[in-house]
């Protein structure tokens, strides 16, 4: 996961032109949800210490990693299946200096529990090339740029995600650990 997050940060630092960087920034900031007011709980599966959730995208239920340190990401195969339209491209360099083009698209709608998130941006990536991701049997990542559209609470004991339109709608137990942070452009804690 850290590799993808670092790769994404390099996109912002070494973007191929001001126009495409502005498109990328807007893509990360866009998104909406319905209903306006909600409080939901879903179960998750823990795989290798990471959270895997089910969400509906392109008319089917799919498995995604839930990662606060990365933006949304979908596999190239899933992008083809749902007909994702590339909004912008960025040529980036990884930590070894290898240049790699990445494509970015909008997800028309992604449903988690009873909440639908619209027009959130996502990286399109070759997940089969990632040894780390291939063992989780996921089709992408639900990331920080979508998470910014709700308030989230992780219950590790019950393996549940609680999310709501307002923090006051979450039942925060006595002695719960809360992490204050400021969000980066992609919505990740910084």
What's the pTM? 0.83
Is residue 3 predicted with pLDDT exceeding 80? Answer: no
Higher local confidence (pLDDT), 117 or 189? 117
Q: Which two tokens stand for residue 77?
A: 């195969």
Q: Which of 71, 104, 101 shows the shortest CA–CA distance to 87? A: 104
> Can you tell me the distance from the alpha carbon of 22 to that of 104, in angstroms, rounded to the nearest whole number?
13
Q: What is the 3-state secondary structure (H, E, C) of 41-104?
A: EEECEEECCEEEEEEEECCEEEEEEECCCCCCEEEHHHHHHHCCCEEEEEEEECCCCCEEEEEE
User: What proportions of the chain, in percent to the nearest 5, are helix, strand and coil?
Assistant: 25, 40, 35
Query: Where do the structural domains in the chain lie, given as residue ranges?
Result: 2-169
The predicted pLDDT at position 119 comes to 98
If one counts every other C-beta atom within 10 angstroms of the C-beta of residue 146, the result is 24
* 2-169 CATH pick, 2.60.120.10, 2.40.70.10, 1.10.1040.10, 3.40.50.300: 2.40.70.10
Whether the ω angle into residue 9 lies within 30 degrees of 0, i.e. cis, is: no
pLDDT in tens, 54-74: 999 999 999 999 999 889 999
Is residue 105 predicted with pLDDT exceeding 80? Answer: yes
> Can you tell me the distance from the alpha carbon of 13 to that of 46, in angstroms, rounded to the nearest whole number?
33
Q: At what angle do helices 18-29 and 2-13 cross, to 10 degrees?
A: 130
| Mean per-residue pLDDT over the chain, rounded | 86
The separation between the first and the last C-alpha atoms of the chain, rounded to the nearest angstrom, is: 16
């Amino acid at each position: 996961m850290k590799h993808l997050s670092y790769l994404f940060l390099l996109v912002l630092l070494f973007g191929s032109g001001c126009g495409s960087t502005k498109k990328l920034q807007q893509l990360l900031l866009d998104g909406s949800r319905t209903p306006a007011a909600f409080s939901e709980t879903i179960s998750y599966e823990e795989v290798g210490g990471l959270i895997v959730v089910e969400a509906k995208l392109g008319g089917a239920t799919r498995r995604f990693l839930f990662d606060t340190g990365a933006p949304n990401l979908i596999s190239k195969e899933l992008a083809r299946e749902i007909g994702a339209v590339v909004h912008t491209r960025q040529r980036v360099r990884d930590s070894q200096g290898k240049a790699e083009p990445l494509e970015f698209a909008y997800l028309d709608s992604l449903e988690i529990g009873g909440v639908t998130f619209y027009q959130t941006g996502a990286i399109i990536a070759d997940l089969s090339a990632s040894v780390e991701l291939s063992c989780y049997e996921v089709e992408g990542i639900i990331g920080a740029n979508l998470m910014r559209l709700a308030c989230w609470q992780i219950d590790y004991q019950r393996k549940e995600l609680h999310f709501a339109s307002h923090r006051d709608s979450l039942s925060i137990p006595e002695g719960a650990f809360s992490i204050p942070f400021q969000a980066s452009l992609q919505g990740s804690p910084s």
